[in-house]
Chains A and B, each alone.
Chain A
């Protein structure tokens, strides 16, 4: 391990931690504009986190230890995920420790814990949320895996840094399999980040909520961690999408100086991506919960078709 690798690794984590709430704020702002509302401040998520961290935490009287450790575990998982996804540089010492499959496993780990924590209190909403979250998860997880597999079939590697490195260095070509994977990935990320056609992050409407039902019993610092982890998850998913489908502008091994360019490029990409996300959310309506499996099954099928296309066309 060299110093520049360590530096880029730490920088990535710090950038993810700092930029993640900003991305959430930006998406909310764009959405408000598109819906002709007056937009909240870009910095609102930070203020929210600060407020929540300072408040006391109210925990249900019969909550077990698991309920109290879950926010830290989920937060830790998301930090780890943002550490292994190449956002600024492909020179990441942690990258060999976990490849694309382990990344999916990491998300699954967080999901299992957040669902278990929701069931811990034993309220109707908690278990409802847990059931729906696991329902979404069991379809979204294999779909995400298939998307990543499409990329790794092209690059002959499941290591995220090699995938990005190889894709960035190929001369510009349109891979049909990646096109399918891209659509599937967009659908999966909407579902995984509790965005509109699947879940609505802006409501507490009891019968439709998924993510909000999961964290309903959390307050104070625990809620802050959960919210921050949710932002980090969205940041991580955006970065997976950007690195898989627009893998340019990342710094490479041996040239840490390129990170000076990489950071503004990342911010630019995220700005455009966030605006597009807000556009998708505004343009679509929320689905009934039992339409969600169909939606995700479509994503799964598209991802599998992407892989089949790779075998058919060899690209």
Chain B
């Protein structure tokens, strides 16, 4: 059997699992302990099949589904296989975690949730497999709808319904743009298969139109500025495993779409496309990381951090387009490798972090950072596992996030000189901004981890928090393993990624990387730049353990537990620690113009002084509210026509008739 057949079979298996969920609608134990782990096993299968398919030649199939005369075309090439591998591998961890996560009596019945969840997984795989616009759009919409229902699974809460509505709205505006993009790409031939689109030779004007439509459409799904507003609402509203899938995996399907259109379906790349992607990516990344540093809700913080990472992905892609447009294929491959590497590492660490917040949410019932703290003592397991995610997310060696950042910075540094001096000057500025984003991400992550897990508990009830169950632990460990593999074995991970760049650009970075041995990552030559995470880890660990052993042997020091010193101040309590607001205060102060802040200071005469600060997004007030108001005004105008009296409507018909007659007569 071909790989593609196996994948279709596994997608079918997901649907069967989902259908079984419907049959056992309220049998909670069966759904959580049988169906979700089964779904996780299928994920694992998908991962393995996709991984081996990356190294094979493309496979195609035609499914006799859909409208008569319009069957679904499917195609499995290296690009789609890589993204399916990411979906499968992350999905496996999330599914196992979900088996332990969902509780009785929360919103949607477990069986229905199981159906929506598995349809969501299957639609993501099929979006990536689709090889004609029709199949793509059907799957894309299935993905949007199934995720909408998952987001609103706690639909009794009004805020969640509202978040879901916003998500659906933006997703559909994006979908229209994608549809128009395909319309441009088929160039009036009436044939909507991707093969036909590849064969078209569009004029630069139409190619640019298609590209811009794709940026808009996929950007709405990925959360590119200014289409990001739904993301920090919808991702936190969903149950944690779903947030993990949406942030970790679903956003990547938009990246996939953008890559597919700009490198595969379009036969040319113009240099200013790269510039647009670079600019959008940088603005998105800076905006995302600034906002994530000032959030007070742990899941919103992570959602904004996802916006930041999408920005970094766009920067990598933009560099790739820029280099490709100037025929610097080796550099384009390097930039694109960085982008694809980050796709994988972000998928793993962000899912891990979202699942960690899920465990915290279950153990404490709190999402607000101001009511958490000190959880490392009560849930050490989750705390240590989340620490790995935090370090990877902060882009620290030797974890996955660092490798992609390293590759991205290398592709800036090795720019040998673009033909345009203006672009040449831009490169260091962009590199500086990327470095700034990476460092700010560290700030946000220290805040996230420190406020939730470290310090003293800010509420007394936190002392009752329990650690994650065993199914949840397996899921978390799987994702930790992913972060470690991505961080420690870059040479091996670049093998499959190289296949994708070979397909898109015609250059395979793995060929140059492979010659330096299995542990040394050197994209150009060892003299120019190299990084060996395993050696790094071994030496670091060796000096750590040597220090521990020597100190133990030489000093046999005693340890005494006492009250904290705190500069001798005796009356310290948990309320005196930094809150999330306090920790973010320097950022609020430094980047003041970027936030729309509402701060209420207490006066000296207040009986019960309260301090509150809310940080909002300018875009909401600049773009979305005006549009909403304009829509409402237009609707009101149109509404005047509706009088509700039959005589008035008859008069409308009469007037129309007269008008038509006059027109015909003229």
Contact = CB atoms under 8 A, between A and B. Distances in A.
Given A66-B376, A158-B413, A293 B559 contact: no
A307 B547 contact: no
Interface in A64-92: 64-66, 72-73, 75-77, 79-80, 83
Nearest to A146: B432
Interface stretch (A25-33, A217-225, A269-277): A217-225
A134 B443 contact: yes
Interface residues of A, number: 85
A308 B429 contact: yes
A193 interface: no
B543 A116 contact: no
A248 to B, nearest CB: 21
Contact of B557 (A57, A120, A131, A132): A57
18 contacts: A53-B557, A61-B563, A76-B544, A96-B532, A102-B397, A111-B442, A115-B450, A119-B450, A127-B455, A130-B583, A138-B439, A142-B438, A145-B435, A149-B409, A152-B413, A159-B526, A159-B527, A311-B424
Most buried by B among A134, A135, A158: A134
A220 B561 CA distance: 13
A153 B429 CA distance: 14
A137 interface: yes
B578 interface: yes
Given A115-B450, A116-B446, A308-B425, A221 B544 contact: no
A123 B576 CA distance: 7
Contact of B555 (A53, A112, A312): A53
Interface in B396-411: 396-397, 402, 405-406, 409-410
A80 B397 CA distance: 12
A204 B569 CA distance: 14
A281 to B, nearest CB: 24
A199 interface: no
Interface residues of B, number: 87
B572 A124 contact: yes
A252 B629 CA distance: 71
Q: Is the interface of B mostly helix, strand, loop or mixed?
A: helix
A290 interface: yes
B527 A131 contact: no
A282 interface: no
A37 interface: no
B35 interface: no
Contacts of A80: 536, 539-540, 543
A98 B541 CA distance: 15
Interface of B: 373-374, 376-377, 380, 383, 387, 391, 394-397, 402, 405-406, 409-410, 413, 421, 424-425, 427-429, 431-432, 435-436, 438-440, 442-443, 445-447, 449-451, 454-456, 520, 522, 526-532, 535-536, 539-541, 543-544, 547-548, 551, 554-555, 557-567, 569, 572, 574, 576-578, 582-583, 585-587, 589-590
A132 B561 CA distance: 27
Contacts of A112: 391, 394, 396, 442, 445-446
B394 A121 contact: no
A109 B565 CA distance: 26
A124 B571 CA distance: 11
Contacts of A59: 559-562
Nearest to B561: A61
A225 B567 CA distance: 20
